Amino acid sequence: MKLYYSPGACSLSPHIVVHEAGLPVELVLASTKTHQLADGTDYYTLNPLGYVPMLELDDGTRLTEGPAIVQYLADQVPAKQLAPANGTLPRYRLQAWLTFIGTELHKSFTPLFAPGTPEDYKASVRERLGKRLQWVDEQLAGKQYLMGEQFTVADAYLFTVTNWARAMHVDLSALPNLLAFRERMRERPAVQQAMREEGLLK
């Protein structure tokens, strides 16, 4: 398999999951700025949307969208319990978390990354994000991870998205459960390996 990624982008989520799953993968850097690979290939010729992550299977099949990719990876190694079994209520709860993170958190960060976004609009974005993150903090009370005591692929996605908070001036200091969750995540060997490979840890 090949995982197309850009350092620190949302592709960090499947990058973590690949290592949690113990699956062999070839990492391919796909710059979100130049949209070119290291060999000069135009990334748009591989993925017309131009963004990461993208997973290319050994038969050449390509899968896009992080929440779909992490579930695919989890289902390759069911014994690792990175996602509940398909068709069960816990699986739908996992999908609810992935959807919430994608639509309410991930997408809410987008205007903060855009250089042309007016500062007054950024302030309202941060306020809305703060309310969503407060709710996440409440859901983490008394839990190790989003689904309880078991790490799942949703945790990798939440960790990845909340990594953007400091650079985008989103204050997490009043969210003790989320901060504790992030510390637990940082201690996981798969997280450290993925971050080292992306140059995010020395």
- The pair of structure tokens assigned to 168 is 């985008």
Domain boundaries, the chain: 2-80+191-197, 89-188
Quote the CA–CA distance of 132 and 103 in Å, as a whole number: 11
Q: What is the pLDDT of residues 128-153, one digit of tens each?
A: 999 999 999 999 999 999 999 999 99
CATH class name, domain 2-80+191-197: alpha beta
Q: What is the pLDDT of residues 63-118, one digit of tens each?
A: 999 999 999 999 999 999 999 999 999 999 999 999 999 999 999 999 999 999 99
- The pair of structure tokens assigned to 20 is 């949690």
Average pLDDT over residues 3-29: 97
Cβ pair 156, 70 in contact under 8 A: yes
**Nearest alpha carbon to residue 157 among 25, 19, 11, 31:** 11
Tell me if domain 2-80+191-197 and domain 89-188 are identical in fold: no
Quote the CA–CA distance of 149 and 189 in Å, as a whole number: 17
Amino acid, single-letter form, for residue 99: T
Q: How many CA atoms lie within 13 A of 25 on its CB side?
A: 24
Q: Indicate the pTM of the whole model.
A: 0.97
Helical residues (DSSP H) of the chain, grouped into ranges: 12-21, 66-76, 89-100, 107-113, 119-139, 153-162, 176-187, 189-197
Q: Residues in the chain, how many?
A: 202
What are the strands of the beta sheet with 62-64, ordered from one edge?
26-29, 2-5, 54-56, 62-64
The matching CATH number, chosen from 1.20.1050.10, 3.30.565.10, 3.10.620.30, 1.20.120.80, for 89-188 is 1.20.1050.10
